[in-house]
Amino acid sequence: MSFKSHLGRVRGLGSAKEGSGHWWSQRLSAIALVPLTIWFAFSVAAHTGADYEAMRAWVGSPVVAALLILTITAVFYHAYLGLQVVIEDYVHHEGVKVAGLILVKGACIVLGLVGVLSVLSLLFASSQ
Interacting residue ranges for other proteins, rule: CB under 8 A: 27, 30-31, 33-34, 37-38, 41-42, 44-46, 48-49, 52, 55-56, 59, 68, 75-76, 79, 82-83, 86, 111, 114-115, 117-119, 121-122, 125
Q: How far is the CB of 44 from other proteins (least distance, A)?
A: 8
Q: What angle do CA 88, 102, 28 make, to 5 degrees?
A: 65
Q: Which residues contact 105 (CB under 8 A, 6 or more apart)?
A: 80, 84
Q: How far is the CB of 98 from other proteins (least distance, A)?
A: 19
Q: How far is the CB of 10 from other proteins (least distance, A)?
A: 25
Q: What angle do CA 67, 69, 73 make, to 5 degrees?
A: 115
What's the rounded Cα separation, in Å, for the pair 128 and 124?
A: 7
Q: Which is nearer to other proteins, 10 or 92 (CB)?
A: 92
Q: Which is nearer to other proteins, 10 or 34 (CB)?
A: 34
Q: Which is nearer to other proteins, 12 or 14 (CB)?
A: 14
Q: Which is nearer to other proteins, 66 or 86 (CB)?
A: 86
Q: How far is the CB of 59 from other proteins (least distance, A)?
A: 7
